[in-house]
Amino acid sequence: MSAEDELQQRDAAADPTVQAHGARVLAHLREVFAAAGGRLPFARYMQEVLYAPGLGYYQAGQRRFGAAGDFVTAPESFPLFGRSLARQCAQVFACLGGGDLLELGAGSGALAQSLLAELAALDALSGRYLILEPSADLRARQQARFERHCPPALRARVHWLDGLPDGFQGVVVANEVVDAMPVHRLVKRESGFRELWVRLRGDELAWEEGPLSAPDLDRPLAPWRAALPEGYVTEVRPVAGAWLHSVAEGFAAGLILIIDYGYPAAEYYHPQRSAGTLMCYHRHRAHDDPFHLPGLQDITAHVDFTALAEAAVEAGLGVAGYTTQAAFLQGCGILELAERESAAGGSGDWGAGKGGSGGAAAGKGLPRRQVELATQLRRLLLPGEMGEAFKVLALSRNLPLPQEGLLGFSIRDERGRL
Ligand SMILES: C[S@@+](CC[C@H](N)C(=O)[O-])C[C@H]1O[C@@H](n2cnc3c(N)ncnc32)[C@H](O)[C@@H]1O
């Protein structure tokens, strides 16, 4: 940790609001650990510190997204992401003859803002914009954002759901949702895989090795087990398969797009990835200690896209495409979009094209706008930034595909790697 990071951490820990919240989370954890006999599978610990009502990281009122928060997501900082994605949605709506858009886990509402703006600009708004957000706090923030900024005609299309809809037709989008779902941590020993549990002693959280908390937890590792060295640590996320089954249940027709950082199983469980992918984020510092400031930092792990694709097939969905974020966005026309934006000097969100109110006037402030667009392209597309680490998985049901195929997978489709 750099001296600057250490100072930042000390500042955070010294903040009385942070201390008071941290104490409440710890008191809650003490009760949960006591009820469970002293130790929990890591997945249960992660569930509590991220999602315990009123206490977990995604449930309590702190600032998480953007420069003043803990991390930045693509739609949050780069409107070109959502606007390109809108073009894929528009193509699906054209194939279906209409449909709704359902966003799962909408965070601050930034993606909804870009998607609605671009769909309006394309004249492709066909139905409702539905949001399923399990966090009451985030839902309130999304609603406030729409009340404040969204033109009334677009606002009228937005509805918050309490559960997954039945008979849904259209496009489902889940950006950086699966990586926020709890994982179990496993370690390879001579006798087979063991689980890393969490123990709470006094105020100290610590790892404790034990048996698997469910007998088939190590199932995704079966094809790779023999090649993995003793002491190899990794993560599995059975809850993602169950989640996908529930999404598939009420899904009648259209496309489901899952966007996240991750790999196919052969890369996820590569012998060289010997410490797993668990990461924590607090005030833009990434580290690997999930016991630091419980409830006040984000905890994530990469996504196993092979496991998701297998769960999708089991649930009766088709795997319609798999590619990198860079290839997907370029297939959707991000470069042409940026070029047009640059020439027009538009703002990007509830201001784009005929949908809205405009940003910097054409001819005025153009160089700044161009620099800003170039930054968006660099961050979204370059391999060392988000371009290769993030992948897009498309799942379909009853979708009559256009002859030219899905836009986002027209440059490169790597389904064969799953
Ligand atoms: C890292 S944030 C990403 C937010 C937003 N999609 C973005 O890209 O900026 C994770 C989001 O997933 C939501 N989430 C977690 N589990 C979920 C689930 N099972 N269903 C729907 N959303 C979920 C969280 O509440 C949060 O809004």
pLDDT of residue 14: 63
- Report the nearest atom of ligand 1 relative to the CA of 135: 25
pLDDT of residue 17: 78
Q: If you measure from the C-alpha of residue 153 to the centroid of ligand 1, how many angstroms do you get, rounded to a whole number? A: 26
Region 332-341 average pLDDT: 94
Band (367; pLDDT cuts 50, 70, 90): confident
Query: Does an H or E element contain 340, and which?
Result: helix 334-344
* Residue 221, pLDDT above cutoff 70: yes
Q: Which two tokens stand for residue 159?
A: 């509805």
Q: Contact, 229 vs 271, CB < 8 A?
A: yes
Q: If you measure from the C-alpha of residue 206 to the centroid of ligand 1, how many angstroms do you get, rounded to a whole number? A: 27
Domains of the chain with CATH codes: 3-71+181-237+268-292 (3.40.50.12710)
pLDDT of residue 67: 66
Q: How many Å apart are CA 115 and CA 238, to the nearest integer?
A: 30
Q: Please, what sign has the CA dihedral across residues 305, 311, 312, 314?
A: positive
- Report the nearest atom of ligand 1 relative to the CA of 239: 19
- The number of CA neighbours under 13 Å toward the Cβ of 348 is 21
Q: How many Å apart are CA 291 and CA 269, to the nearest integer?
A: 24
Band (358; pLDDT cuts 50, 70, 90): very low
pLDDT in tens, 54-93: 999 998 866 666 666 777 788 888 999 999 999 999 999 9
CA distances to 37, 201, 254 from 241, in Å:
28, 33, 19
Region 358-367 average pLDDT: 51
Q: If you measure from the C-alpha of residue 108 to the centroid of ligand 1, how many angstroms do you get, rounded to a whole number? A: 10
Q: Contact, 272 vs 1, CB < 8 A?
A: no
Q: If you measure from the C-alpha of residue 25 to the centroid of ligand 1, how many angstroms do you get, rounded to a whole number? A: 21
| Probe residue for ligand 1, chosen from 85, 133, 161, 177 as the CB with the greatest number of ligand atoms within 8 Å | 177
* Residue 15, pLDDT above cutoff 90: no
Q: If you measure from the C-alpha of residue 257 to the centroid of ligand 1, how many angstroms do you get, rounded to a whole number? A: 14
Q: If you measure from the C-alpha of residue 76 to the centroid of ligand 1, how many angstroms do you get, rounded to a whole number? A: 13
Within 6 Å (CB) of ligand 1, which residues are found? 58, 73, 75-76, 104-107, 110-111, 132-135, 138, 175-177, 180-181, 243
Nearest CA to ligand 1 atom 1: 176
Q: How many Å apart are CA 246 and CA 240, to the nearest integer?
A: 10
Nearest CA to ligand 1 atom 8: 175
Q: If you measure from the C-alpha of residue 109 to the centroid of ligand 1, how many angstroms do you get, rounded to a whole number? A: 11
Least confident of 11-15, 149-153, 383-387, 412-416: 11-15
* Residue 350, pLDDT above cutoff 90: no
Nearest CA to ligand 1 atom 4: 107
pLDDT of residue 68: 66
3-class DSSP state of 190? coil
pLDDT of residue 256: 98
Q: What is the pTM of this model?
A: 0.92
Region 326-342 average pLDDT: 95
Q: Please state, rounded to an integer, the average pLDDT across all residues of the chain.
A: 90
289 contacts: CB under 8 Å, gap ≥ 6:
280
pLDDT in tens, 375-405: 999 999 999 999 999 999 999 999 998 889 9
pLDDT of residue 356: 36
- Report the nearest atom of ligand 1 relative to the CA of 138: 27
